[in-house]
Structure 1
Amino acid sequence: MQVVACIKHVPDATADRRFTPERTVDRSVDGLLSELDEYAVEQALRLKDRAPAPDDVVVAVVSMGPARAVEAIRKALQMGADRGVHVIDDALAGSDALATSLVLAAAARWAAGGEVPDLVVCGMASTDAGMGVVPAMLAERLGLPQVTLASLVEVRDGEIRARRDGDHAREVIGATLPAVLSVTDQSGEARYPSFKAIVAAKKKPVDVVSLADLDVDATLVGAAASWSVVDDVAPRPPRSAGVVVRDVDGAGVDALVGFLTSNRFI
């Protein structure tokens, strides 16, 4: 069974996030494996752990991005993934979700030896862009059913079943394999790599491929081919001083209600 987890290297939320002059995310700052993608890797590994023959399940992680994106792949390998595929090409800079899904679909096939993988697992969104549309686009490009926003996953007898927890209802949905799956941050805490796993990850293969290797036309990706663009960016304004509502002569409640009402908090 071939399982592919799509992951992304994103700027560290605690770092000084900024944009380039071309209004794309500056990826030269400190980065890491997107937290939401850790859940995708975890679910892929749990499926392998629960399989009747775990050695017959190969979990590959796929990521596109600059050279530093390999850091995210290494983290996934330390968690337990078997191999990594790093798509790196100068033409990818500025790619939007449509272009990203095109490349990831081709990379998923490449990771599975030219065939459609049995299962493609994604996080619910990336923590930098936060669009959450790539899993659906992947399913369309690969011609597969999609099971999205899953909080509980089970694979059995060639079928995938997933529980989706909404604000007002709980659904159980399913599909026959192969399929595309996206999981939420409620699907299960991602495992922490042990020292032994960190050492073992250094020997696991990471294939570096280009758009030419994937047979993807470079004119279909990058900023020039993107259907969505960032028109303008501005630095976050400094945090203003807070307002202290004091209880003077028993008027604190009225003062607090007045403050909340005037700011439309209630």
Structure 2
Amino acid sequence: MITGTTRLFAILADPVGHVQAPQMINTWFEAHQIDGIFVPLHVHLDDLQTVVQGLRALHNLDGLVITMPHKTAMAALCDEVGAAARAIGSVNTVRRTPEGRLIGDMFDGHGFVAGLEGQGITPQGQRILLLGAGGAATAIALALFEAGAATLTIANRTQAKAEALQACVQAAHPGAQIEVGAPDPRGHDMVINATSLGMKPGDALPIDTALLDPTMTAVEIITKPEFTPWLDQARKLGCRTHIGRHMLQAQIDQMARFMLGHDAGA
């Protein structure tokens, strides 16, 4: 039951219709007997700073989840960020203190790997093609090498962003075998779509699916639709597929606890 003492939490996104965090975090709140409600907020990128400034003054707001396209911009709007967010340059979870300070951190990378491992997929020893070079892609790239990936190829529309991601990973993992390349899955064991392509009807495919073969694992981070067009084609070709929901599910506990600022009694 929502009352005057119920604490508020929200996800900032654009678009917002695809997000699954509200139902998952509200279920977590119920299971942990937290008097809180989590809602979606549709915020355009140009309005993000104005919205965040207003949220600072909302005294019954305790936390935010940040998703595309706001992760990188939100890092600059926080008063403090954790080590992972600092290394990556983006945040996906924010805690609001009683004084209105915003503390951000990033759980995408470890959540992504945990989601894979929860489905019996390991990055260890894998040759991986990563599509995209934004905040989520950066977190994923760093976590893949922590998990023992053999090689990583980054393919992104803007080569400068791909090169910046390459430099970031090599700074954290000096021995990492990482290169900037084309969105060509041949010679790779795993293909990860960390772009927003597939979220909207009519989006271009992030990859030429004719180049896939059944030995590859096709991985998505988009949660809705559950099977994006390229992932659906990969499934029909006989590839092992991994949907975006697993990454989110693996992060829910971490994000909820961070927003609350304690162990929630569990």
Q: Which structure dedicates a bigger proportion of its chain to helix?
A: 2
For normalisation by structure 2, the TM-score amounts to 0.29
For normalisation by structure 1, the TM-score amounts to 0.29
Question: Greater Rg, structure 1 or structure 2?
Answer: 1
Larger relative contact order (CA 8 Å, sep ≥ 6): 1
